[in-house]
Amino acid sequence: MLNLTKQGLSADSEVLSLNSNSVFADNKKSHPCESEDLDRIILSSRDSRACGSRMTGKNIGSRMAGKNIGSRMTVKCESGLLSICAADAPQFSSAVYNRGTQARKLQAGATQSGRSMIEMLGVLAIIGVLSVGGIAGYSKAMMQYKINKTVDQISQIVGNVRTLYASQKNYKGLSCSSEPTKCHTLIKKAHLVPDELWNSDGTSLENAFGGTLTVNVGSKKSSYDDKAFGVDLYNLPEEACMALSTYDWGSGSSSGLIAISVNHGTVLEIDSYSVGCAGTSSDGKAIACPNGATVSIPMPINIAATACQTGDSNTVSLKFY
């Protein structure tokens, strides 16, 4: 707002000051009132009283009141000099007002920058949703990775055992449940299992899900003929139990697979299930056999869903010859 006050009044001259909060960014204007030195503009008249009357609030001040001049200016009237700005005061005040308006717009734009609290909350909500989705996707991917890894490990164990015992009449020596020390020594020396399956102290085998893994001898046709062997996987989560039990390990009898047991017993406990078994399913347990009359391989999903329990206490056993 323009403030027009008198300073240093004398008989021959009057000093008027124009105060404002805005400052011109560029002082080089064609109008004489916007000269290089805006701090002082000397206005005068041959009659100091006439000059003073022109510069009072009734004349220029009334037109310029409330306008934003743009700088502090001292108007000094001295006798002997002609008035420079009095005649063009309206144009001068209009130019100054326009300059002040532009400055206020720039200031308003600067104060409106940034983000509101609602926008920030929206961003945080989106980040939260993406994080939850990312964690769920990661868990799913890790589960599938462990399942695929277990399938590869079992296939590698079966291939190594068959290769090692190819010239033997049976699989004696693989009784890891009854003779763990001798069995583990044999497995280590013959490199029958991947090194990653051994626990930290090298005394037992662990599956990809943290449960125990054992290798045992079994029966192919008659009890205790030791012409079969198997792999037992303990403490499997429900999803892994479903995936491993419904996997097609070999639907034909020539594949060498005898049976798959889900929570029905280990290789030793299903010893009576030999080549040509029919399979069974009851009380949340199941055994599937190649070309089985009751439950065949791959195990039907509905039977696996009934046999595999919630949690991570499931046992899956695979018996080969």
> Where among 59, 89, 111 does a domain terminate?
111
Same domain, 233 and 201: yes
Same domain, 144 and 85: no
Same domain, 150 and 168: yes
Nearest one of 236, 210, 201, 223 to 273, comparing CA atoms = 223
Q: Whole-model pTM?
A: 0.59
Same domain, 293 and 316: yes
Q: Determine, yes or no, domain membership for 116.
A: no
Q: How many structural domains is the chain composed of?
A: 2
Q: For 128-226, list the strands marked E by DSSP.
A: 205-206, 212-218
200 CB burial (10 A radius; 0-12, 13-18, 19+): exposed
**What's residue 92's pLDDT?**
52
Q: Which of left, alpha, beta for 27 (phi over 0: left; psi -120 to 50: alpha)?
A: alpha
Q: Determine, yes or no, domain membership for 241.
A: yes
Same domain, 33 and 150: no
Same domain, 147 and 13: no
Nearest one of 140, 148, 150, 138 to 208, comparing CA atoms = 150
> Where among 111, 141, 172 does a domain terminate?
111
Mean pLDDT for each 10-residue chunk of the chain (321 residues)? 39 38 41 44 40 43 42 40 48 58 61 71 82 76 94 94 93 86 91 93 92 90 84 95 92 78 84 86 90 92 94 93 90
CA 58 to the chain's CA centroid: 69
CATH number at residue 246: 3.30.1690.10
Same domain, 207 and 269: yes
> Where among 65, 80, 111 does a domain terminate?
111
Same domain, 106 and 154: no
Domain holding 63, by residue range, is 3-111
**What's residue 224's pLDDT?**
76
Same domain, 106 and 156: no
